[in-house]
């Protein structure tokens, strides 16, 4: 019974939101060529292959059917309603997905958990590939849009935007940002010239932003031997592209590296100690030709390990699969996320630093709802902090209550 | 991919001696119009030199290794220009897929070797005919010198067949504000790919019915004379997709390599090794694998057979090889992005076995 009441309540809130805010639903470019998909509260299936020729038709549909999630295709099709192989692919936006699920944070042990669907075995932190108890692969996951995780996702987004602007030359206007409504950010580029790129070209772009397959010897790391002595050269801090990132990543890493950090890259102990002892000289050397020859025992191979680690700090962790898939369905901006009751909101790329997802994704202001909370860590919306709660009845503003209900951490009480 | 050539009007930069070097340029067509030349004419005695050179272009493609059409700076410019479209007609008339690919490659390699030593201005003129947004850059960073800056989208489109080589991956290039910085040699190499694709598209076996009888005869006797060199695949693509090969259960990496082999695209060594060892491990007959590779322009039956039998453990070492792990394939750029199942496995064979198992049990 309680399940049903929860769903009814959530649906009612979504319905209220859509009737009052249907203008916030963002209409994708060339709506008539997009495929739409929805999940409904009643059945747990996805309705796919829908299409709408006009913005009003889409908004009306959402208002009337009140989906728990609404998606559109990043692709443009000749016949978006046809079966997959008959749609007639015309092109696809260039899309990036950054999700806390793919970023290791220390706090995920505190707020994320999973339960094996086959044997009921439970654990905390990131979901394993296989159940350690029975070896099966299906899990019930609980994740939390915690502030630290959201910050981590934002940092990756900032790095991605930087690469898109500085290296790939997109303009800030072309880079459409949004908060997903749960644990991450989306970036979408709709410019004419990216639309026709095939999967292989998109793979190159995603490898570029993630630094996958990079070879630092192709970015300036070099050994020149002359008359018995060897000189190592490398990239400089001010260099463009991955060259400069290689240098800056190395600088950042060596700024705070410990002996253990260096040892874990496979460096010899005496070398690791020498690096730490000469840290000042190394950092100072960047003013000139860089640190490549400061430590006499440190050869090209070891530098390669250090630079590669530095690079990994500079790369943007995006979900590769999403970018290379030219038939992907994407949450529609201006709609509510069924797992949180938060809004997927768009914002200009220039605002990324100051953007506060837990304020701007709030869809409901005020109100008060009484709910029974099973368990919830402390959380925040706007300037208000709630919780932690454990097996208690509380009265919360609509958004906070809706959030816990969507998360399955609470139930409505009369 | 992007093979529509653009005629940019009289620029004055490209002379007819340049068109003799790069006869695939749209300006050549203008030149042909000016000379008022028609296909039928070629059968007349005073045009014999053109048909002869056209035939020689194809013969050179078939007999040189690696394939390359010759360039003779002292050759008659008009003959050089006119013999190119004639060779296209002749190649179309043979209706041979092998000749088409081999000839396109040979012309493209000829152009590459000429472009490598061409002036920057002319390289840019040629590149612009392919719609490239390219400009002179001339900067030095570290020990490297870059002569050109090319829009990265144009780079991605033209380099599409080269990404499996580490040095051609976008991430290993200097990319600044939407442009990839390149040396002249790099640009020449990318143009080689564009030219090859362009010529392959021009050679159209369906044209055969429109070609004058006399030329068809020349094409047929050419085919007969070089039958030894022409490695036409005995099996059709449908024939190759034998019921034992469940391509839809292959992981994305192997599927890509398999399709590349079917269409005769170049596959790097590690890719061949991966495909061969994968197919052998799922129980495919070695003879079938030899036939699969037969399509490729640089096919060598003895070598291929040797490699396959070596991998299968029939020769030399008795160990049977298995395909590389996912992370090895990833570092070699052979993993085209993962799908959901890929994320849960570490080896392409596991992917296949899971799929197979699931299909059997999930009925
Ligand atoms: S993850 Fe492994 S199996 Fe999947 S495509 Fe990549 S290399 Fe192949
Ligand atoms: Zn289990
Ligand atoms: Zn967290």
pLDDT at B319: 57
Are the CB atoms for A366 and A399 separated by under 8 Å?
no
Reduced to 3 states, what is the DSSP secondary structure of residue A369?
A: strand
The answer to which of A100-104, A120-124, A156-160, B71-75 has the lowest mean pLDDT is: A100-104
Domain A2-101+146-206+319-363 in this protein, CATH class = alpha beta
Phi, psi (rounded to 5 degrees) for A89: -70, 130
- Give me ligand 1 centre to Cα A249, in Å: 29
B278-288 mean pLDDT:
83
> What pLDDT sits at residue B5?
56
Phi, psi of A376 (to 5 degrees): -155, 135
Which of B166, B169, B340 lies nearest to residue A204, judging by beta carbons?
B169
pLDDT band at B362 (very low <50, low <70, confident <90, very high): very low
Whether the predicted pLDDT of A289 surpasses 80: yes
Atom 3 in ligand 1: residue holding the nearest Cα: B348
Residue carrying structure tokens 């005629």? B7
The highest-level CATH class for domain A365-414 is: alpha beta
Cβ neighbour number for residue A138 with a 10 Å cutoff: 9
Using alpha carbons only, what angle is made at residue B158 by residues B156 and B163, rounded to the nearest 5 degrees?
60
Q: What residue's CA is closest to ligand 1, atom 6?
A: B335
pLDDT digits (tens, 9 = 90+) for A26-74: 999 999 999 999 999 987 788 999 999 999 999 999 999 999 999 999 9
- pLDDT in the model for residue B165: 82
pLDDT tens string B65-75: 889 999 999 99
| pLDDT at residue B45, rounded to an integer | 83
User: B214-245: per-residue pLDDT in tens?
Assistant: 889 999 989 888 887 776 544 333 334 454 67
Strands A369-376 and A410-412: antiparallel
Nearest chain A Cα distance for residue B142, angstroms: 7
The CA-atom distances, in angstroms, between B302 and each of A355, B231, B299 are 64, 13, 9
Chain B residues touching A130 at Cβ < 8 A: 344
Confidence at A109, pLDDT banded by 50, 70, 90 = confident
CATH of the structural domain A216-314, one choice from 1.10.1060.10, 3.40.50.720, 1.10.8.160, 1.10.10.10 = 1.10.8.160
Tell me the pLDDT tens digit for each residue of B111-133.
999 999 999 999 999 999 999 99
Give yes or no for residue A204 having a pLDDT over 80: yes
Is A395 a residue whose pLDDT tops 80? yes
Q: Where are the domains of chain A?
A: 2-101+146-206+319-363, 113-142, 216-314, 365-414
Q: Is A262 a residue whose pLDDT tops 80?
A: yes
Q: Which two tokens stand for residue B90?
A: 């002749």
Supply the angle between the helices A398-406 and A2-21 in degrees, to the nearest 10: 130
Structure token digits, residue A65 = 């059917």
Is B344 close to A170, i.e. CB distance below 8 A?
A: no
> What span, in angstroms and rounded, lies between the C-alpha atoms of A179 and A360?
9
Q: Is the pLDDT of residue B197 over 80?
A: yes
| pLDDT value for A333 | 98
User: Which sequence spans correspond to the domains of chain B?
Assistant: 10-114+198-229, 116-194, 247-361
Query: Residues B180, A218: contact at Cβ < 8 Å?
Result: no
In sign, the C-alpha dihedral spanning A282, A283, A284, A286 is positive
Among A200, A246, A312, A319, the strongest candidate for a mutation testing the B interface, having the largest count of B CBs within 10 A, is: A200
Specify the pLDDT at position B243. Answer: 45
CA distances (Å), origin B252, targets A346, B237, B256, B270, B328: 34, 19, 6, 16, 15
Chain B residues whose CB is inside 8 A of the A169 CB are 152, 176-179
């Amino acid at each position: 019974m309680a399940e049903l009441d929860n769903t009814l309540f959530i649906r009612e809130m979504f319905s209220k939101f859509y009737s009052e805010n249907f203008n916030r639903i963002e209409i994708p470019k060339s709506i008539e060529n997009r495929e739409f998909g929805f999940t409904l509260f009643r059945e747990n299936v996805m309705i796919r292959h829908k299409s709408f020729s006009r913005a009003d038709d889409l908004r009306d549909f959402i208002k009337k059917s009140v989906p728990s999630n609404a998606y559109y295709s990043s692709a443009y099709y000749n016949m978006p309603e046809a079966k997959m192989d008959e749609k007639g692919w015309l092109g696809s936006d260039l899309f990036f997905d950054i999700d806390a699920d793919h970023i290791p944070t220390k706090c995920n042990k505190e707020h994320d958990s999973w339960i094996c669907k086959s044997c009921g075995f439970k654990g905390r932190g990131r979901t394993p590939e296989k159940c350690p108890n029975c070896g099966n692969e299906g899990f019930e996951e609980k994740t939390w849009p915690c502030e630290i995780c959201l910050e981590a996702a934002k940092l990756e987004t900032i790095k991605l935007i930087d690469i898109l602007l500085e290296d790939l030359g997109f303009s800030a206007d072309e880079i459409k940002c949004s908060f997903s409504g749960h644990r991450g950010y989306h970036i979408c580029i709709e410019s004419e010239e990216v639309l026709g790129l095939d999967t292989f070209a998109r793979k190159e772009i995603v490898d570029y932003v993630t630094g996958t397959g990079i070879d630092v010897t192709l970015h300036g790391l070099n050994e020149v031997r002359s008359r018995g002595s060897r000189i190592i050269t490398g990239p400089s801090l001010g260099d463009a592209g991955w060259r400069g990132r290689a240098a800056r990543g190395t600088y950042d890493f060596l700024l705070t590296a410990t002996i253990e950090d260096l040892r874990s890259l496979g460096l010899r102990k005496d070398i690791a100690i020498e690096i730490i002892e000469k840290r000042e000289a190394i950092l100072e050397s960047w003013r000139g030709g860089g640190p490549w020859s400061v430590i006499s025992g440190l050869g090209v191979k070891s530098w390669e390990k250090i630079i590669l680690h530095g690079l990994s700090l500079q790369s943007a962790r995006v979900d590769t699969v999403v970018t290379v898939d030219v038939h992907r369905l994407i949450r529609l901006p201006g709609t509510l996320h069924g797992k949180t009751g938060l809004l997927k909101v768009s914002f200009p790329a220039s605002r990324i630093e100051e953007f506060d997802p837990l304020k701007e994704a709030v869809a409901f202001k005020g109100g008060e709802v009484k709910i029974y909370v099973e368990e919830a860590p402390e959380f925040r919306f706007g300037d208000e902090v709630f919780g932690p709660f454990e097996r208690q009845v509380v009265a919360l503003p609509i958004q906070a209550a809706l959030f816990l209900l969507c998360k399955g951490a609470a139930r409505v009480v009369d | 991919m992007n093979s529509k050539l653009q005629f940019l009007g009289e620029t004055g930069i490209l002379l007819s001696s340049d068109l003799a070097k790069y006869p695939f340029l749209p300006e050549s067509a203008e030149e042909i119009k000016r000379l008022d030349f028609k296909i039928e004419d070629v059968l007349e005695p005073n045009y014999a030199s053109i048909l002869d050179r056209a035939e020689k272009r194809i013969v050179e493609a078939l007999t040189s290794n690696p394939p390359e059409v010759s360039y003779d700076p002292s050759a008659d410019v008009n003959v050089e220009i006119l013999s190119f479209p004639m060779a296209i007609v002749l190649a179309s008339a043979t209706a041979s897929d092998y000749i088409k690919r081999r000839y396109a490659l040979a012309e493209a390699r000829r152009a590459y070797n000429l472009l490598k030593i061409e002036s920057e201005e002319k390289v840019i003129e040629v590149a612009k005919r392919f719609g490239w947004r390219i400009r002179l850059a001339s900067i030095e960073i570290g020990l490297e010198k870059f002569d050109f800056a090319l829009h990265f989208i144009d780079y991605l489109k033209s380099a599409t067949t080269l990404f499996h080589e580490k040095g051609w991956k976008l991430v290993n290039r200097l990319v600044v504000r939407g442009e990839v910085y390149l040396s002249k040699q790099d640009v020449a190499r990318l143009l080689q790919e564009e030219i090859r694709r362009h010529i392959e598209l021009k050679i159209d076996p369906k044209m055969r019915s429109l070609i004058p009888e006399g030329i068809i005869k020349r094409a047929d006797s050419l085919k007969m004379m070089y039958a030894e060199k022409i490695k036409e695949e005995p099996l059709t693509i449908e024939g190759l997709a034998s019921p034992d090969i469940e391509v839809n259960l292959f992981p994305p990496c192997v599927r890509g390599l398999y399709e590349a082999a079917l269409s005769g695209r170049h596959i790097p060594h590690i890719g061949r090794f991966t495909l061969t060892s994968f197919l052998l491990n799922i129980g495919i007959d070695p003879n079938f694998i030899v036939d699969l590779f037969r399509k490729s322009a640089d096919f060598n039956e003895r070598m291929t057979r040797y490699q396959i039998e070596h991998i299968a453990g029939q020769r030399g070492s008795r160990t049977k090889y298995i395909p590389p792990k996912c992370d090895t394939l990833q570092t070699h750029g052979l993993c085209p992005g993962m799908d959901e199942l890929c994320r849960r496995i570490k080896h392409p064979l596991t992917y296949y076995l899971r799929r197979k198992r699931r299909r059997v049990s999930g009925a």
